[in-house]
Copies of this chain bind each other. A is one copy, B any other.
Amino acid sequence: MSLTAVLDRIDADFDASLHRLFDLLKIKSISTDPAFKADTATAAEWCARELQAIGFDASVRPTTGHPMVVAHWRGQVGTGPSVLFYGHYDVQPVDPLNLWETDPFEPRLVARPDGTKMIVARGAADDKGQLMTFVEACRAYVAVTGGLPVPVTIFFEGEEESGSPSLHPFLEANKDELKKDVALVCDTGMWDRSTPGMTATLRGLVGEEVTLTCADRDLHSGLFGGPAQNPIRALSKVLAKLHDDQGRVTIPGFYDGVEDLPPAIKAQWDGLGLTAQEFLNPVGLSTPAGEAGRSVVEQVWARPTCEFNGIVGGYTGEGFKTVLPAKASVKVSFRLVGKQDPVKIRAAFRAFIEANLPPDCTVSYKTHGGSGALALAFDSPWIEAGQKALSAEWGKPAVVMGGGGSIPVVGDFKRILGMESLMIGFGLDDDRIHSPNEKYELSSFHKGIRSWARVLAQLAA
């Protein structure tokens, strides 16, 4: 069976794989800092050259910002769905540099007392180590079989850490070239060190800024306090009504399109055994504030929220001013799940605000983004394939995870290319991405490569 031979080849070649990853980690591809523009281009060229060496038709593709790398496999393929693999070769800045124990661009292996090892360098986990798991899996497959089990295109971005300004136009301009049956996105994590995971859902987001205006100027609270409507009071009253005592959002129609979890998924999540205390204690909290009767995992991965991100009104400096303010504002964001419609949510929210205002209070809005949730059906064939492959490699069932936040590229693939994404990654929560001493588990790198080989085989099965 060729997969076994491919996995053996991965193991045999692993030192060389690690060496190649170190080469990439040495390149200072900090996309957000113009001082590293040439380094960032160097990283793109390095990626293209490696892919060419494997046999890909790879090229560095200019944008108005940092270049993309696109590589098509033109050789022998098996039958199966075509895939677009996504990763990013740019990294976060390294400051504060003095908190790094060693040079962030001199990668090193650090062994722990229990024998486990980690790769320490900027970008080790986010995202160079991750993207190289796929590259090395392809390399082994090609070396052993002379081809790949499914049609593969690789797409690397160099601006993920600086807001992806070129992504949207690049996808628009290259739709036909990049649209495949499914995207494989490697920029997420495992459930824990020994339990693989796939991210199947990402919550959507609606942001809205609400400003209430009462009087046409700030008033003296001695002269007008009492008769004059206070916008902070009005705002508090309406915000207080947005959640009931069970933590549910009270906007009429808010839960339209929200479905309960399939029993198998709920059972899997409950079986993870993550307690509210384990989740909340590390940030100084202990009691779940979301919907009553739902686990913290379900609250974060599968339930919609209404959160207040900022509020301001009146005098907020040192000391005290007896002002009765004219205005008060709040920034509100909704995380959406399932089929919740961002347009309807925004409209229902505005209607709720307006239905709950007192006299002498006018409202204005600023819109900040709106996108629905992204989700693979829990019973999709991509999930099934990933589940089989990962479970075989790691010896335990892969967790079908949700993502609490958003991963913009997944939304762009969906909107622009009409393509769904299977998010598989091998990061851990303690990888210190974006922070000093970023690391990637050596086991994540090694078993990550093996995992991708299994996923490719499974997709072709």
Contact = CB atoms under 8 A, between A and B. Distances in A.
Contact of A203 (B222, B224, B308, B369): B222
Interface string A228-244: 11101101110111110
Given A226-B290, A330-B232, A310 B321 contact: yes
A165 interface: no
B333 A289 contact: no
Interface in A395-432: 403-406
A429 to B, nearest CB: 10
Contacts of A221: 305, 307, 309, 333, 335, 405
A220 B205 CA distance: 13
B309 A322 contact: yes
A163 interface: no
Contacts of A369: 320
A226 B216 CA distance: 37
Q: A205, A216, A285, A333 — which one has the most chain B CB atoms within 10 A of its CB?
A: A285
Given A311-B313, A311-B314, A320-B368, A227 B290 contact: yes
A284 interface: yes
A226 B300 contact: yes
Interface stretch (A26-34, A275-283, A339-347): A275-283
Q: A214, A300, A316 — which one has the most chain B CB atoms within 10 A of its CB?
A: A316
Interface in A259-310: 276, 279-280, 283-291, 296, 299-300, 303, 305, 307-310
Interface string A48-82: 00000000000000000000000000000000000
Given A223-B404, A311-B313, A320-B369, 5 more contacts: A223-B300, A226-B290, A227-B288, A236-B308, A310-B325
16 contacts: A207-B320, A220-B405, A221-B333, A224-B283, A224-B300, A224-B404, A225-B307, A225-B333, A226-B404, A237-B240, A286-B359, A286-B360, A309-B324, A310-B315, A311-B314, A312-B316
